[in-house]
């Protein structure tokens, strides 16, 4: 059973949900569904030119995982 969020205090450990791996396929699917096709999320060469070692997940994809974790 989940703790109601209004009972959570700083330091409260949240329920540990399991999520699918954030793969390149998952990023491409999310890009298509969301309309966010920024190449920094999809193209390693573009990410490296921008100074990153690899592509990275869309912020709103991660926020979706956070929202799922915090759901009541």
- Reported pTM: 0.74
The answer to whether 36 touches 58, Cβ cutoff 8 Å, is yes
**In CATH, what class is 20-70?**
alpha beta
Closest listed residue to residue 25, CA positions, set 51, 57, 49? 57
The answer to whether 3 touches 70, Cβ cutoff 8 Å, is no
Is residue 67 over pLDDT 90? no
Report how far residue 47's alpha carbon sits from residue 67's, in angstroms, rounded to the nearest whole number. 27
More confident residue, 1 or 69: 69
pLDDT tens digit sequence for 14-64: 777 788 889 999 999 999 999 999 999 999 999 999 999 999 999 999 999
Q: Where are the domains of the chain?
A: 20-70
33 alpha carbon, distance to own chain's centre:
14
Q: What's the confidence (pLDDT) of residue 33?
A: 96
């Amino acid at each position: 059973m989940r703790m109601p969020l209004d009972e959570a205090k700083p330091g409260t450990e949240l329920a540990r949900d399991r999520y699918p791996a954030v793969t390149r396929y998952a990023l491409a699917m999310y890009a298509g569904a969301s309309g966010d096709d920024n190449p920094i999320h999809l193209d390693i060469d573009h990410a490296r030119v921008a100074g990153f070692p690899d592509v990275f997940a869309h912020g709103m994809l991660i926020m979706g995982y956070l929202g799922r974790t915090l759901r009541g």
